[in-house]
Each structure stands twice: as C-alpha cells, then as structure tokens.
Chain A
Amino acid sequence: MPRVVVDVMLKPEILDPQGQAVANALPRLGVSDVASVRIGRRIEIEFTGEPDLDRAREIADKLLANPVIEDFTVHVVDADETAGAHS
C-alpha cells in the first residue's frame, strides 16, 4: 500500500541544538568533513484508501508541523520504500 511521507524540518533560521550536538560529536568518530547537521522528523501516513496528498498537507499543517518554527514537504512512496520495509 503506498504511503504519504511527511518530512518536517526546523526552518533554516531556527537554531537546532540537537543537530549541533550531533555535529560536535562527529570528530570523536574521526569524521572531520561535516559542516553542519540538522535534525528533522519523518512521518509515514497510510490512508484507508488511495494516498491523499492534499489531506496529508492539511494534517501536516494543523498537527504534524508547527508553521511558526517548522517547514514540511509531502510525497507519496511505494510500500517497499517506507522505513519499516526490508529489502
């Protein structure tokens, strides 16, 4: 069953202290060529019928993202592309 994926990211101008903390830990892994890390959230929605992008946008705008601090994008993926699928 195809799903709608909603990606939520903090707006570029909003400080992401979690991302900074991860970036600051990378040198301890021996990684020195990462300029920055930003952390967001991926949400997969499965509709009872066909995937409905407009409905997903409405859900994202009202609940999944806070438009004051976050941006979101939506797209449809096949079931085998979702996070829980094993290849």
Chain B
Amino acid sequence: MTARVGVVTFPGSLDDGDAARAVRITGAEPVRLWHGDPDLHGVDAVVLPGGFSYGDYLRCGAIARFAPVMETVVEAARGGLPVLGICNGFQILCEAHLLPGALTRNQHLHFRNRDQVLRIEAAGTAWTNAFQPGQEILIPVKNGEGCYVADPATLDRLEAEGRVVARYVGGNPNGSQRDIAAVTNEAGNVVGIMPHPEHAVEALTGPSLDGLGFFTSVLKHLVGAPA
C-alpha cells in the first residue's frame, strides 16, 4: 500500500508545495493538511514545511504551535508518528516542545540563502535511515532565524544520545551552536532540520538529489514499523 505523507499548510507556509512534490517523487502519496483542521486524515507521517507561518509574529513558530492541527500532531508524534519539521517547521517543533532548544536570529543578522554541505551524524532516525553515518550531502539553506541554541547541558545530552542528526560543514550559515543543523527527539521519529531537503529532489531545480534521502527514509521506516 502506498504510504500517505501529510504536509501541513499554515497561513504563511511557503514550501508546502515543494514538500508535497518531494513526497510524490519518492513514490508516496502527499496529503495536504490544513492548519485549522485537527484531523490528520489517517496519514502515516507528517511534514511541517518551511515558510513564515503567521508572519513569524511574536517568535517564529510560536503561534503555529497553537494551531488546531498541531494539537493532533504533537499527540501523534508522542505516540511515534514520524514528523519532519523543515526550517519554519523545525521552529514550530521547538516551540511545541517536541524538540529541545530554540532557533534565534542568525548571528550575523543576514538572511542566508545558499547551497550548503551537511554531514549526517545520526542515520538511525525515521527520516535519515537511508543515509550512511558521516555521509556528506548538499542541500539549500535559506533562513534568517536559523541559529540553533540550547543550554550546554542540553547540547551535551543531545551529543551523548546521538541526537544531533546533521551538522553544517564548510561554514556555519547562521551561528548555530556546535554547527547543529538538525536534531531529533529521544525516539528518533521527530526530526527538525533548518536546511531544505525538499528543494534538492530534482536535477532541474536543486543542487543535488540528496534531499530525496529524507523522504525515502520515512518510507523505509514505515515499511519496517509495526502496524
């Protein structure tokens, strides 16, 4: 049976179309979910896309966290549903306390938009099992508030538990502590990543096809997951 991967659209989401396209390219069925609808429509996984939900008012992701769909997503994620937050989606996952830490203004205050090398450090998560540990990939990064911060104890715990999913290589685009580009929760089903795998799934539009691995990973995970 074809896996069904939900992509949430918030007011101000930008990359929901690309995320749905990435899902489709990997052979799964994208299901568009609406911020105001708490029903997940039976999807097997959820992507929270990039953009500027609610205009980034107050703090990035702070208001989206209280959207009706998020109540269901948070509950389902705690029950093991794979959830990938990309860029603004990562910010929302931190605001919803599904992931530790927070994303703050880029240290240099500039919006950064470039192709970025990442090193995959945790290849055991629901969204990265198609990669080899230590594998370097190239995907676009584009953010103004992508500086990952957490207190030193939290950072040490993430490192010790193998929950740093990816790090920036060849230059840190936003000042993130310990070059962290992506982290996961304890169970490995929730991943937040600041760069954009959904923009690197086709030769015509992306710098590589490296982003596909995130979307094939979740399909592998779902096949292996107990029903």
Interface string of B136-149 (1 = CB under 8 A from A): 00000000000001
Which one of A13, A64, A69 contacts B102 once the chains associate, using CB atoms below 8 Å? Answer: A69
Are the CB atoms of A14 and B105 closer together than 8 Å? no
Are the CB atoms of A68 and B94 closer together than 8 Å? yes
Which one of A14, A21, A64 contacts B149 once the chains associate, using CB atoms below 8 Å? Answer: A14
Q: Chain A: how many interface residues by the 8 Å CB criterion?
A: 11
Residues of B within 8 A of A73 (CB): none
How far is B95's CA from A63's CA once the two chains are assembled, in angstroms? 9
Are the CB atoms of A66 and B108 closer together than 8 Å? no
Nearest B residue to A14, CB-CB: B149
In the complex, whether A17 has a CB less than 8 A from a CB of chain B is yes
Are the CB atoms of B95 and A66 closer together than 8 Å? yes
Additional pairs, 19, CB under 8 Å, beyond known A13-B151, A15-B104, A15-B149 = A14-B104, A14-B149, A15-B107, A15-B175, A17-B107, A17-B108, A17-B109, A18-B105, A21-B109, A63-B62, A66-B59, A66-B62, A66-B102, A68-B94, A68-B100, A68-B101, A68-B149, A68-B150, A69-B149
Q: Which 5 A-B pairs have the closest CB atoms?
A: A68-B102, A69-B102, A17-B109, A17-B107, A17-B105
Enumerate chain A interface residues (CB-CB to B < 8 A).
13-15, 17-18, 21, 63-64, 66, 68-69
Enumerate chain B interface residues (CB-CB to A < 8 A).
58-59, 62-63, 66, 94-95, 100-102, 104-109, 149-151, 175
